[in-house]
């Protein structure tokens, strides 16, 4: 009986199995805006128009998330579209994902799975991707492993480009 009691006490004195902590709840946006249009000016010159049917903003971190976002760069007539964009308004950086599309004013269409914009890469910012890129132009097509676009210089550099002319 004493041995049975000792086994019972030992069994009861063992620490309970650790319980995995619950994951934190998903961060909830402080502000959700619908059918958003943002216009950026330099003096009286309209520089950029951005649109999204849904924009969420966390005020404490300045993080944002936009769905089906579009940006028109007025200076060049270029439009960039992305199904999802996450970024930070304080650092002025954003990454588009889900298939980013570039539409040039000359019939050029560029595609990449993801692309990132960072304001601090040049006076007007820069965009880049290392996820592969394809470009279709009326006179040529191009495939590359990535790109860097300097928006100030209006210049794009491609990594390992393969170009094919069209007839």
Neighbours of 144 (CB within 10 A): 21
Does residue 9 sit in helix, strand or coil?
helix
Residue 1 lies in a domain: no
Backbone angles phi, psi at 53, to 5 degrees: -70, -20
CATH of the domain at 38: 2.60.450.10
Does residue 10 sit in helix, strand or coil?
helix
Residue 27: predicted pLDDT: 60
Q: Which residue has the higher pLDDT, 7 or 29?
A: 29
Residue 16: predicted pLDDT: 58
> Would you give the DSSP letter of residue 106?
T
Determine the structural domain holding residue 155 and report its residue range.
30-165
Count how many domains the chain has: 1
Q: Is the pLDDT of residue 141 over 90?
A: yes
Q: How far is the C-alpha of 115 from the C-alpha of 99, rounded, in Å?
A: 9
Give the pLDDT mean for 88-102. 95
Residue 7 lies in a domain: no
């Amino acid at each position: 009986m004493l041995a049975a009691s000792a086994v019972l006490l030992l069994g009861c004195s063992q620490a309970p199995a650790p319980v995995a902590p619950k994951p934190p709840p998903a961060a909830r946006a402080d502000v959700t805006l619908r059918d958003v249009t943002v216009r950026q000016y330099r003096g009286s010159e309209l520089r950029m128009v951005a649109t999204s049917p849904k924009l969420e903003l966390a005020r404490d971190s300045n993080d944002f998330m936009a769905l089906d976002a579009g940006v028109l760069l007025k200076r060049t007539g270029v439009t960039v579209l992305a199904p999802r964009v996450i970024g930070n308004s304080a650092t002025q950086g954003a990454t588009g994902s889900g298939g980013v599309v570039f539409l040039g004013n000359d019939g050029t269409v560029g595609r990449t799975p993801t692309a990132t914009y960072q304001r601090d890469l040049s006076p007007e910012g820069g965009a880049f991707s290392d996820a592969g890129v394809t470009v279709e132009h009326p006179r040529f097509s191009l495939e590359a492993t990535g790109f860097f676009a300097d928006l100030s210089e209006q210049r794009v550099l491609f990594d390992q480009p393969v170009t094919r002319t069209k007839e």
